Chain A
Amino acid sequence: MKILVCMSVVPDTTTKITFTENSTKFNQQGVQFIINPYDELALTRALDIAEPAGGSVTVIHVGTAESEPSIRKALSMGANDAIRIDAVPTDAMFVAAQIAAVAKDQYDFILTGRESIDYNGGSVCPLLGELLGIPSINVITKLDIQGNEATIEHDIDGGREVIQVTLPFVGSAQKDLCEPRIPNMRGIMAARTKPLAVVEAAPVNGGEQYASFELPNPKQGVKLIDAENAGELIQLLRNEAKVI
């Protein structure tokens, strides 16, 4: 069994977001980059499925050499090898097209994260599905493979659904799928020598650019209501804020 896990590298969740160059670029100064949290879940579940079955897990990342520490971390979690497509990832369409060029007909199934917590496209999974002509299942909370078939529980609007899908497919990992693995010392040592292939980017179109960024307007300051008269809140919400 061969499994491919797509991985993006994102600013740590505690990052205070700021922009430079006249608000046209994300300010990376002092920012710590991590594996996208949903991708850690995708990778962990892939490993839990592959290991007992004697299968292999490949991690794929579209990005520059700056991401290599995060790729090594994925290898230390247990991935067998990694592919880095050498390009600046622009939008989800570009990323999906790059991955599709490498992944076509190569894997039993592919996992992504539900979304990247930086640009929140949430789109690579359905894009890959269509590019590869395979089913795409978003926001997976349970995944089991039996022979040629996957049983999948996933979130839908207003509930959850269980489906059966014939391999191959692409799915996106949602929390609840598993607890992320923490690399151990042995894994970290092994990761140093695991294969990390760097491949050239395919000539694909796409890649929308950001013209500029904005930060939300700061709040005016909180209006405090005395706890004794907490009911007053309702009056303010009705008459002043006009939201109820």
Chain B
Amino acid sequence: MAIIVFAETSENQLKKSAFEAVGFASGMATDAGPVIAVCIGPVSNAEALGNSGANEIVTVEYNGEFQAENYAEILAQICKNNNAETAVISNSYSGKSIAGRLAVKLGASLVTNVISMPDTSNGFRIRRSVFSGKAFGWVKVENSKKVLAITPNSFEIPNTGNTASISSFQADLSQVPNHSKIVSVNKVSGKIPLTEAEIVISGGRGMKGPENWGMLEELADVLGGATACSKPVSDMHWRPHSEHVGQTGITIKPNLYIAVGISGAIQHLAGVSSSKVIVAINKDPEAPFFKAADYGIVGDAFEVLPKVIAAAKALKA
């Protein structure tokens, strides 16, 4: 039975999460059948998915903006045509908005926030993060049909050396009612989305004011990362709310999280504690963040950061 993967694109390019999703699908039990990666709308590098585990690539002609109703319908049609019982989608905003609708269309079970490969030794179990990353749970899924939404930065991208056949598909969207119309889209082009960033530099109230974020942005630029912040920082409008991480913000899972001037409250840690390596920079040696960190520097951010930035620049030079 085939596995259908929705391969997300941005600005006509596949996103890293698309390769992760394809890699995840190819790693699922081999008896699950061929991995069919689906690209919706214009994409310039679809063939690259073969190398990360796709057996077939289907491109779908689609003009216009993203609409969850349309995307879910397209994927449902492809699932049905290929007798696919499993669909894999990235756990992004758009991914989640499709996943629920697709699950209903297929009569499938839906598991979001997936962070490991399924365990099929005793039925089907799959691990997801719960309580905003404070814990993990193994979900038992008895339904043979499944929609799995996988967390970015959780899976290695394989390098199979294979190529995949590419075909195109014309979806029938005539039955999808059109109730909404996009008025405007405001995207920050060229910036790494926070949930997908492998390196995140984050600032808290200890940064004193928005005028001091230049240092954090500089470090993020040098290391190729994104910036984030604590809740009070976004509450005070020093930074946009989209950068707020934690239990009531975004949950992230980068390889490296550097927290500067953030105390490490339980609600903040909830959203970042799954990061592989955590660095805390704080002038207070008693700051709770040091208990959750791998590396720490006790010191004034305004003295420490320039040294860190200089060393990072020297390394990258």
Contacts and interface: CB of A to CB of B under 8 A. Distances in A.
Interface of A: 11, 13-17, 19, 37-38, 91-93, 96, 117-127, 129-131, 133-139, 141, 151, 155-166, 169, 174-176, 206, 208-216, 219-220, 222-227, 229-238, 241, 243-244
B188 to A, nearest CB: 6
Interface stretch (B24-32, B55-63, B162-170, B274-282): B274-282
Given A130-B72, A223-B294, A224-B296, A243 B182 contact: no
Nearest to B296: A222
A206 B106 CA distance: 13
Contacts of A131: 104
Q: Give chain B's interface secondary structure class.
A: mixed
Contacts of B249: 175
A157 B248 contact: no
A118 B8 CA distance: 27
A162 B183 contact: yes
B137 interface: yes
Contacts of B140: 208-211
A39 to B, nearest CB: 12
Given A156-B93, A163-B181, A123 B99 contact: yes
Given A120-B112, A123-B100, A244 B307 contact: no
Q: Give chain A's interface secondary structure class.
A: mixed
Contacts of B14: none
Nearest to B131: A17
B135 interface: yes
B125 A211 contact: yes
Interface residues of B, number: 97
A222 B280 CA distance: 9
A158 B296 CA distance: 30
Nearest to B251: A120
Interface of B: 8, 10, 65-66, 68-69, 72, 92-94, 96-101, 103-105, 109-113, 125, 127, 129-142, 177, 179-188, 191, 193, 198-199, 223, 234, 241-242, 244, 247-249, 251, 255-256, 266-267, 270, 273-274, 276-280, 290-300, 303-305, 307-308, 310-312, 314-315
A243 B276 contact: yes
A126 B303 contact: no
A122 B195 CA distance: 15
Contacts of B133: 216
A137 B97 CA distance: 8
A1 to B, nearest CB: 18
A230 B290 CA distance: 16
A115 B142 CA distance: 24
Contacts of B305: 230
B104 A234 contact: no
28 contacts: A17-B134, A91-B110, A93-B103, A93-B110, A120-B130, A122-B113, A127-B104, A127-B110, A130-B72, A130-B101, A138-B68, A151-B183, A155-B93, A156-B66, A157-B10, A157-B93, A158-B187, A208-B140, A210-B137, A210-B140, A225-B295, A227-B304, A230-B299, A234-B312, A243-B255, A243-B276, A244-B199, A244-B256
